[in-house]
Amino acid sequence: MRVWSFILGLFSEDKDAAVKKYREYMNEECGETFIDLEEDVEVMDEEEARKLFQKMLIVQGHGNKNNGKVQISDSLIKELREKTNLSARRIAAITGLNKDKVNRILKS
């Protein structure tokens, strides 16, 4: 028995009716939700991330002084996240930015 014959046979013994029911079944909306399994992602040590952040400020020129404050670009925050896999809370602690601002940057 061929696989297709077996599958269509689950819908009906009549081939034409089985094909019609199979098509209807395949076009139905699925309301099921699936659990996405997260991969184990290595997170950089926070002290190591601080050193990396300081190097990034110097090397990439994002550390411009303005009234005594360092201006940090959104792209630098995103790059730091990519390189460290740190949470927004930990990135905020390292950069001195507000956690909500870091979250907004990472979601943009």
Instruction: Tell me: do 50 and 95 sit in the same domain.
Output: yes
pLDDT value at residue 65: 47
Least confident stretch, 29-33, 38-42, 86-90, 100-104: 38-42
Q: Looking at residues 6-11, what average pLDDT do you find?
A: 89
pLDDT at 42: 67
pLDDT in tens, 30-84: 666 666 655 556 688 889 999 999 998 887 775 554 445 677 889 999 999 999 9
Residues 99 and 66 in one domain: yes
SS (H, E, C) 43-73: CCCHHHHHHHHHHHHHHCCCCEEECCEEECC
Whether 57 and 29 map to the same domain: the answer is: no
Whether 54 and 31 share a structural domain: no
Same domain for 91 and 51: yes
User: 87 is in which domain, residue-wise?
Assistant: 46-107
For tokens 């907004």, the residue is: 104
Spatial distance between the Cα atoms of 53 and 83, rounded to a whole number of angstroms: 10
For the chain, what is the radius of gyration of the CA atoms? Answer: 26
Provide the whole-model pTM: 0.56
Count of domains observed in the chain: 2
Shared domain for 22 and 63, answered yes or no, is no
pLDDT at 69: 64
Q: Residues 27, 1: one domain?
A: yes
> Is residue 100 very low, low, confident or very high in pLDDT (cuts 50, 70, 90)?
very high
